[in-house]
Amino acid sequence: MGRATECARIDRLLAGARLGTSGVLVLAGDPGVGKTALLEHALATADGMAVLRAQGVEPEVDVPFGGLLALLRPALGHLDEIPGPQAAALRTALALEPGGERDRFTIGAATLSLLAAHAERRPVLVVVDDAHWLDAPSLAAITFAAGRLLADAVAVLVAARPELAPTSLPTLPVAGLDRAAAAAVLEHRAGRPLPPGAADRVYDLTLGNPLALVELADADAAADVGAEPPLPIETTVERAFARRIAELPEPARRTLLLAAAEGSGDLAVLQRAAPALDVELTALDAAERAGLTTSTPGTVAFVHPLARSAAYRSAAPDERRAAHRALAAVPGDPDRRAAHLAAAAVGPDADAARALEAAARRARARSGYAAAASSFERAARLTVGGPERARLLFAAADAAWLGGQAERVDRLLDDAREAGPDPALALEVDHLRGHAALRSGRVVEAHDILTAAAATDPGRAVVMLAEAADACAYAARPGPMLAAAQGAWDAVGPDAGERERFFASLALGMAYIYNGRGEEGARRVRAAVEILERSDLLSDDPRVLAAAALGPLWLREQAQGRALVARAMAAARDAGAVGALPFSLWLAARDAATSDRWAVAEALYEEAIRLARETGQATSLTAALAGLACVHARQGREQDCRAHAAEALDLTARLGLDFFALWALDALAELELGLGNIDAAVARLEEKERLLVRRGVEDPDVSPVPELVEALIRLDRIDEARERLAQYTRRADAKRQPWALARLARCSGLLDDDGNAGFAEALRLHAQTPDRFEEARTRLCHGERLRRDRRRADARPELRRALEMFDALGAAPWAERARLELLATGETARRRDPSTLDQLTPRELQVALVLAEGHTIREAAAKLFLSPKTVDYHLRHVYRKLGIRSRDALPAALAGPGDASQEGHLMRGGEAAPTVAAPHPPGGQAA
């Protein structure tokens, strides 16, 4: 009654699924507002659809993947049809077969694949009620899958309370009925006219909540409740149920308590536990007559979760514990037994703690990290303080970190410290705290924690100090970075292994570069890469791969170590390790953005942003946002650039990630330069310069001086430009890397009396780097200089080549500047036709690039965490936009201004054999 709008929305969702278009809707509303009734409407109208259904139950909120198993059970026959690694992860998670820990998001990808396979036969309706009481691993997998459905015949309906509803999915708020519909419900339920004013009084109290209306429909009850102070709906309705329970005979109340404590409604379990409470299940007949429960063969269910809550809360504490003891004595599921033992305990209880710890270890082995964290923590609370309690709290923190519950980790680690861990565990506590802070974006805090921890254990100091150096890099703090990196290098003993030597060499190399000792730093980075390339032991370690991929980006060379970027990303894709991808993706995107593959960069940045948001990786999110802002700046996409840069700057300000603030300021400065807003550009460049001075960063590659020199010359502030260049010259000469020296030579070309030599040297050095944008800028500056010197004929070839390069890159504002300069020489240039590649969305380009490597649609779906039909949907758009008809034509159609094979190399990881990613924290691999 009164739900025409909501029902119409649901009907459209189901109709779309029948036509092959996915739809997802979260019904968010307070208890009793009618969410379940709307789900029942969907089920009643789902003719011809396969139905997958699950319901969260409060007592089972810590049973790992219990909700997912209930949901997917009818579809498990299709497990052999989904990618092997995903099927193996899902079988392990659902306890169908033993296996090792997996990336928690691989299970979400497997859920998506299984739903898509199930929908191949007929449309599927997925219904999840009371999602707020679903176990966290199940809800994460369902949310991950639902967010990626597009072209499959699947409709997903989820009901949850507003404060706990998945925020990443389309949501329909479900409010109370309006006054007229509420009055109609009251009249209908009471079966007689209500006393004058009663309907309005009940409505004012309940705000049209249907369950409250139904429970208070009797006129006397309505009058009674209306006289009370306004109470939350949950309290009001629970009191109504409690009144009914109080009127039951004592055996019925005790039996109802037993059912409430058991939670799942399994009559076989209740039958075996009942004698311990001296009751019989026939006593439940009275509860059913009172409208509190319903029965089906083998099960008993409460009419509403608040009825169960009332049955449980109205009992005395000793009665609840007795019920749980009775249930714990029933042979059966060990995880449920552990939960009942814990609920029956009063104070420390060694048996309950052991049972909970065993349950936690089983949950962790199935990648049910959130459930494992809860069980470890409950075990700790039932253990007397000391090293044993500290050990359990640390295990809870570790599982919470792997489960993406970063906000929970610090509290658990604080409690572990307070419990009194032994020295070895204390070090583990500090290392995890530092690692979590680093991946959560709290980089200054991470450095402080890791350096302090390293001082207590020289044997593990190398890796911790290398991580501390990474933290300083992201915070743009070169002094502490060098100190930490030097400490890591000094801690490498004569018996150190390749792993320690690799991390120490890489950290020290990057720190040297950051502190202006570029030539020496470059040698160290190359040495680290060589250690990796010659070591079979390290080449399969995804953490090492990700760290090594970061190193070459500091060199900006044509080839040195760049394949490592692709290898790191390929390792995560091939293993389905979603949590490892954001870090590798933004590195690969940066690599593409600093060459001629901007469309690839945009696609990878977009994917990194999406996955970083889903996996809670603030550092990778900030990097990807700032990097994408740089690409959009060069393309002249003003609104997108400003939006991404603003979000990145907000994150850097809150988290102290000043290194990426430099990128965001770069983006805004280049945007202003491209738009011709020279004064605004200078303001942004000087803001960046002040930040570099404040932080003491000496690396010439992050210096804004080359852009400032160009901008100041355009403002006729020549003396200032010369002053700025003097300091930059010293730093670039010290680094001796071609990218910095090329930019220095360009500035010399702009300022010297005869600039030809400077521009010629710049072009020679540009050829040693992959950055075509910088080369095009040099040619533009040279052409502008020649035109100003009235050498129009000499200027035209440089301006013509700059225009071609900017057009090929898609650097629209820069191409327009080159076109106007060329026009000023007396030559007219045709405006560039939009590239067909520009017409592809980032997701379409991702799909096209993976398929162009020769993968099948199903293989591409697995790598991109999409369903095969969604990949096919995007592929059809790619064909139409590129004007091709087959996958064989994709490589040629995707060939841009550079070598098309580079794009495939980036997406598949070159010729290196795929590496299998090991389990890892959701913050991604350490840099």
Q: How confident is the model over 851-878, as pLDDT tens digits?
A: 888 888 988 888 888 899 999 999 999 9
Around Cβ 754, how many Cβ atoms within 10 Å? 8
Residue 301 has φ and ψ, to the nearest 5°, of -135, 145
pLDDT score at 232: 58
| Among 728, 786, 779, CA closest to 755 | 786
The angle subtended at Cα 66 by Cα 315 and Cα 266, nearest 5°, is 50
Residue 316 has φ and ψ, to the nearest 5°, of -70, 155
Q: Where does the pLDDT of residue 561 fall: very low under 50, low under 70, confident under 90, or very high at 90 and above?
A: low
**What's the CA gap between 261 and 343, in Å, rounded?**
9
pLDDT at residue 224 tops 60: no
pLDDT at residue 219 tops 90: no
Among 113-122, 213-222, 455-464, the minimum mean pLDDT is found in 213-222
pLDDT score at 922: 29
Q: Which pairing describes strands 23-28 and 171-173: parallel, antiparallel, or unpaired?
A: parallel
pLDDT at residue 407 tops 50: yes
pLDDT score at 906: 43
Report the share of the chain in percent with pLDDT over 70.
Answer: 89
pLDDT at residue 836 tops 70: no
Q: Which pairing describes strands 50-55 and 154-160: parallel, antiparallel, or unpaired?
A: unpaired
The angle subtended at Cα 381 by Cα 376 and Cα 382, nearest 5°, is 100
**What's the CA gap between 187 and 141, in Å, rounded?**
43
Q: Which pairing describes strands 299-302 and 50-55: parallel, antiparallel, or unpaired?
A: unpaired
Around Cβ 531, how many Cβ atoms within 10 Å? 19
Report the share of the chain in percent with pLDDT over 90.
Answer: 50
> In 367-517, where does DSSP find H-type helix?
369-381, 387-402, 406-419, 423-439, 443-454, 461-475, 478-490, 498-514
pLDDT at residue 228 tops 50: no
The residue among 482 and 829 whose pLDDT is bigger is 482
The residue among 50 and 918 whose pLDDT is bigger is 50
Residue 486 has φ and ψ, to the nearest 5°, of -65, -35
Structural contact between residues 170 and 100, judged by C-beta atoms closer than 8 angstroms:
no
Three-state helix/strand/coil letters over 792-807: HHHHHHHHHHHHHHHH
Query: What is the average pLDDT value for the chain, to the nearest integer?
Result: 86
pLDDT score at 230: 46
Q: What is the pLDDT of residues 747-773, one digit of tens each?
A: 999 998 887 899 999 999 999 888 899
Residue 868, judged by CB atoms within 10 A of its CB (0-12, 13-18, 19+), counts as buried
| Among 318, 328, 396, CA closest to 357 | 396
Give the chain's end-to-end CA distance (angstroms, integer).
57
**What's the CA gap between 417 and 465, in Å, rounded?**
21
Q: Which pairing describes strands 299-302 and 293-296: parallel, antiparallel, or unpaired?
A: antiparallel
Q: Where does the pLDDT of residue 413 fall: very low under 50, low under 70, confident under 90, or very high at 90 and above?
A: very high
| Among 476, 542, 875, CA closest to 696 | 476
Q: Where does the pLDDT of residue 652 fall: very low under 50, low under 70, confident under 90, or very high at 90 and above?
A: very high
Q: What is the pLDDT of residues 126-180, one digit of tens each?
A: 999 999 999 989 999 999 999 999 999 999 999 999 887 888 899 999 999 998 8
Around Cβ 876, how many Cβ atoms within 10 Å? 12
Q: Where does the pLDDT of residue 332 fall: very low under 50, low under 70, confident under 90, or very high at 90 and above?
A: confident
pLDDT score at 376: 95
**What's the CA gap between 779 and 128, in Å, rounded?**
60
- Which position has the token pair 């449309």? 123
Q: Where does the pLDDT of residue 311 fall: very low under 50, low under 70, confident under 90, or very high at 90 and above?
A: very high
Q: Where does the pLDDT of residue 842 fall: very low under 50, low under 70, confident under 90, or very high at 90 and above?
A: confident
Handedness of CA 88, 90, 96, 99 (dihedral sign): positive
Average pLDDT over residues 478-484: 93
Contacts of 481 (CB under 8 A, 6+ apart): 469, 472, 473, 510, 511, 514, 515
pLDDT at residue 898 tops 50: no
pLDDT score at 539: 59
| Among 103, 614, 756, CA closest to 366 | 103
Q: Where does the pLDDT of residue 207 fall: very low under 50, low under 70, confident under 90, or very high at 90 and above?
A: confident
| Among 845, 920, 106, CA closest to 584 | 920
pLDDT score at 166: 81
Average pLDDT over residues 502-513: 89
pLDDT score at 837: 63
Average pLDDT over residues 280-309: 90
pLDDT score at 908: 38
